[in-house]
Chain A
Amino acid sequence: MPTVTIDNQAFAAEVDETILQVAARNGVWIPTLCYHAALEPYASCRLCMVEIDRGGWWQMVTACNYPVRRDVTVRVESERAIRARRGVMRLLLARAPESPELRALASRLGVTQTDFPTVTEAEGNCILCGLCVRACEERIGTAAISLTGRGVERKVSAPFGEPSEECILCGSCAAVCPVGTIRLEVHGDEWELVPFGKKGPAQRCAACGAVLTAELVREALARRGPAAVQGILAGEELCARCKRKKLVGQLLAAGGSGAPSAPSER
């Protein structure tokens, strides 16, 4: 079992675990933006730069995808690693100076402002981390959006820059977006995925009429969801509150004296 020594603290690691996983498990904070535990590492934002000992020289690597194969000595808080991470953050801030999320992370890194001018165009503060694209493809299996173009022209977009035909409005992309570029907005009965322009009707609770999800999600689940999901879909569709009410009602009607205590709000 290899040992990962981070800033003089030794931690046991599994082979092929990443430096970031070892660090996170042991409470060592390494900043990340394009990383999400549920997705394959992509190593594009370069915010998780650390130094590793290569025997005589120190190599800068990204913690999120550097696989531990043997004992490795890591420096997170070295001058060079800090300078690199701050440098990357200053570049990102120059690209998306308006993002509150990015600024919050920056200040945690000790970067309060950037001296670089804005020279690349970011649509709604997008920093091109690609989390949305990977979530859609790897987790949802829809692949409605992709990283298109290249270099400074790169952007996240659905094919031909039009609202995607495949998108089911599940909102996973919005959920993983670290800078609030992507949002799922509800306008009455219509849902819209901003900025991709995909719209669709909402599905409501059969009892109280509260918004549940998008119709398209329901359809997609019906089409390709696992068997357990099919079962749920077969029944009446209720929001969590109404489901609870119904359950309590059923239990009371069954005449049980020990009514379950109301579950705490999740």
Chain B
Amino acid sequence: MKTLVGKFESFTDLEQYRSALKDRAAGVDCVIRVCCGPGCIPKGASKVYEAFRQAAEEADDKTVSVVPKLTGCQGLCECGPIVTLDPGGIFYQHVQEGDVAEIWRESVLGSGVVDRLLHHDEKTGQAARTTEGVPFYQGHQRIALALCGVIDARSIDDYIAAGGYQALAKALGSMKPEEVLDEVYRSGLRGRGGGGFLTGRKWRSAREAHGEPKFVIANGDEGDPGAFMDRALMEGAPHAVIEGMIIGGYAIGSSNGYIYVRDEYPIAVQRLRDAVAKAREMGLLGENILGSGFSFDIRISRGGGAFVCGESTALMASLEGRVGEPRAKYVHTVEFGFRNKPSLLNNVETWANVPAIIGRGADWFAGIGTAKSKGTKVFSLVGKVKNTGLVEVPMGMTLRQIIYQIGGGIRGDRPFKAVQTGGPSGGCIPAAYLDEAVDFDRLTELGSMMGSGGMIVMDEDTCMVNIARYFLRFLKEESCGKCTPCREGIAQMLHILDEIVGGRGTSGDLERLQELAVLLEDTALCALGKTAANPVLSTVRYFRDEYQEHIENHRCPAKECRGLFRYQIDAAACTGCGVCRKKCPVEAITGKKKEPHLIDADKCTNCGTCFDVCRFAAVKKV
């Protein structure tokens, strides 16, 4: 298909192009959207897409016009690869390369569905034809992710056809920079990367700051374990981030943008690079954008694999080609940031909200969410939840709605124990607070935080001491090592936790942990260190008994900490197959063929081999 124009020179050019694209789309009979998001790619989505693409290319019946689209995340990672078809909005899950021919026959050429690939209700078994019948999709409201999963992630045409760059045209064409700023301020948008600082206020400071040139930076260094919101966004709708940044540049008077992307996200890097190149080629980036006289360009920078670079000053140091060490923020980065110039840094999700706010207005945005947390938030819902996936919901939805309605509840219908939010700076929230509304302030009050939006669900098999230890170990490895409290203090806390889960805890450990937590909060240089104790504090606050069981009785109630529980063979379930006896490395298991076996507790080293190899679930943890 040939390109309609070269470079847009005016707002009219863009609108004419958009209507031409719409006309072209109107002639399409069938659109096939293959999810190639973070969850679906590893499950073979690329092959599925390739098969559809080939089928569309080779279809001998040219009377049908079929457009296969490679999209970003469509949400329900659990059931990937996901394929949706229009017209009809047919929703297929677990699609493999081999299913493509059948879908083609039934739903592309015919008007039927492939029943086995539809979503079936867990209890009633009833098939859902579209996402409307899939519980996971109920209650979503997509703003940042509006076009992620809908458009072809690689196509600027798709983005434009769906209304992309309309907000930019509006801002440049009919709004003064101050008006753009006011709009963002009035929307109540707060930073989606962690702290939840009021975005409009930050923009204003950046605009008022002295010093030239000014810089606009997008933080795509998503590093919280269990979080993939930003990855999905950058891969699935890169232009939403770019458009937001251009608008931001216009508002504060900057012509230079940087997107800092996590090294572990090569697809995101590629998509953004391609998107920037394409936008530049079409005159949406570069000199004199849309003939407005405003110029702005973006450079993509890859991280080097350091969690601390998600911190703004460390990120800027890294952009400057240095070690990602944070520095004091007594003078803010909006005044004195990248290259010691005023720098406006926002998370990629924050940026992706901007076009919607400008396009639809601050009042519309402020009408969504809670009193002090406006709009929606993207979460990656993971862990021991039935529907792992990417969720964007209005602020204020309860944890229960997110975990039980959207997430489908806990795997194996086991009891819920806690949900970890906010990554390593966040905390674990127990069942008693499941009905709390999720917003910035409430999560902070609960001893956790919104963070970037990771939501890790845990069931009763998860040891809360061990999870606190996990996060501390993570932070110990990711601490830059510059300041004493973070480097030494985290190592000290981890040492105490190692002793506790090893059954060597002593009375006073909890007090020592709390004392260190205060020390870190008071004296660490950056947020990574200041909040490092949160996973420990929140678990001590809500699961103190569990700590005490470890310390006083050397028992792990969740039966996760090796050595703090025993293995026992359930005589009723044991068939006497002898596999455990043969596999036991220390010959601690005895028993005759076809008779229940027995573990000698004195010889047993609690290695867990018998538990792993038993095919009859006869080995129990007690």
User: Chain A: residues with CB nearer than 8 A to chain B?
Assistant: 43-47, 49, 60-62, 65-67, 80, 83-84, 87-88, 91-92, 94-95, 116-117, 119-120, 127-128, 130, 147, 149-154
Contacts and interface: CB of A to CB of B under 8 A. Distances in A.
User: Which of B328, B478, B488, B522 counts the most A-chain CB atoms under 10 A from its CB?
Assistant: B488
Given A44-B525, A151-B478, A88 B519 contact: yes
A83 B520 CA distance: 12
Contact of B487 (A67, A87, A117, A151): A151
Nearest to B489: A91
Given A92-B484, A128-B482, 15 more contacts: A44-B482, A60-B522, A83-B519, A88-B485, A88-B519, A91-B492, A117-B492, A119-B488, A128-B487, A147-B323, A150-B306, A150-B479, A150-B481, A151-B478, A152-B476
Interface in B442-495: 476-485, 487-489, 491-492, 494-495
A110 B480 CA distance: 29
Given A91-B488, A120-B488, A153 B519 contact: no
B495 A119 contact: yes
Contact of A43 (B328, B480, B488): B328
Task: Enumerate the 4 nearest inter-chain pairs by beta-carbon distance, A residue then B residue, closest first.
Answer: A154-B481, A91-B488, A87-B519, A151-B479
A84 B481 contact: no
B292 interface: no
User: Which of A80, A130, A147 counts the most B-chain CB atoms under 10 A from its CB?
Assistant: A147
A44 B492 CA distance: 18
Contacts of A153: 481
A51 to B, nearest CB: 9
B506 interface: no
Contact of A152 (B481, B515, B519, B523): B481
Contacts of B477: 151
Contacts of A149: 481
Contact of B491 (A67, A119, A128, A147): A119
Given A44-B525, A119-B492, A128-B481, A152 B328 contact: no
Nearest to A52: B330
B268 to A, nearest CB: 24
A14 to B, nearest CB: 16
B331 interface: yes
A92 B485 CA distance: 9
B524 interface: yes
A110 B494 CA distance: 26
Contacts of A44: 482-484, 525
User: Which of A61, A128, A130 counts the most B-chain CB atoms under 10 A from its CB?
Assistant: A128
A84 to B, nearest CB: 5
A253 to B, nearest CB: 58
Contacts of A147: 323, 481-482
B460 to A, nearest CB: 32
27 contacts: A43-B327, A43-B483, A46-B485, A46-B525, A49-B523, A62-B525, A84-B522, A84-B523, A87-B485, A88-B485, A91-B484, A91-B485, A91-B492, A119-B492, A119-B494, A127-B484, A128-B487, A147-B323, A150-B306, A150-B323, A150-B478, A150-B479, A151-B476, A151-B479, A151-B481, A152-B481, A154-B481
- Interface range on chain B: under 10, 10 to 19, 20 to 34, or 35 or more? 20 to 34
A117 B330 CA distance: 33
User: Which of A43, A44, A62, A84 counts the most B-chain CB atoms under 10 A from its CB?
Assistant: A44
A65 B328 contact: yes
B487 A152 contact: yes
Interface in B335-386: none
Interface string B486-530: 011101101100000000000000000001000100111100000
Nearest to A69: B331
B488 A94 contact: yes
Given A44-B482, A91-B488, A127-B484, A61 B330 contact: yes
Contacts of A46: 483-485, 523-525
Nearest to A62: B328
Contact of A94 (B328, B481, B492): B492
Contacts of B489: 91
A62 B328 CA distance: 9
A105 B519 CA distance: 19
Nearest to B331: A67
A151 B480 contact: yes
A212 B476 CA distance: 45
A150 B325 CA distance: 9
A45 B484 CA distance: 5
A116 B308 CA distance: 26
Contacts of A49: 522-523
Nearest to A89: B484
B209 to A, nearest CB: 14
B484 A67 contact: no
A80 B519 CA distance: 10
B577 to A, nearest CB: 45
A88 B306 CA distance: 25
Contacts of B492: 91, 94, 116-117, 119
Contacts of B522: 49, 60, 80, 84, 87
A88 B484 CA distance: 7
Contacts of A60: 522-523
User: Which of B306, B308, B481, B515 counts the most A-chain CB atoms under 10 A from its CB?
Assistant: B481
A10 B491 CA distance: 40
A152 B491 contact: yes
A91 B515 CA distance: 12
B490 to A, nearest CB: 8
A65 B328 CA distance: 8
Interface in B517-552: 519, 522-525
Contacts of B323: 147, 150
Contacts of A154: 480-482, 487
A152 B483 CA distance: 11
A83 B484 CA distance: 15
Interface string B303-337: 00010100000000000000100011011000000
A49 B519 CA distance: 11
A117 B512 CA distance: 12
A61 B530 CA distance: 12
Given A128-B481, A150-B481, A151-B478, A120 B523 contact: no
Contacts of B483: 43-46
Contacts of B482: 44, 128, 130, 147, 154
Nearest to A87: B519
Contacts of A47: 484
Contacts of B515: 87
Contacts of A120: 487-488, 491
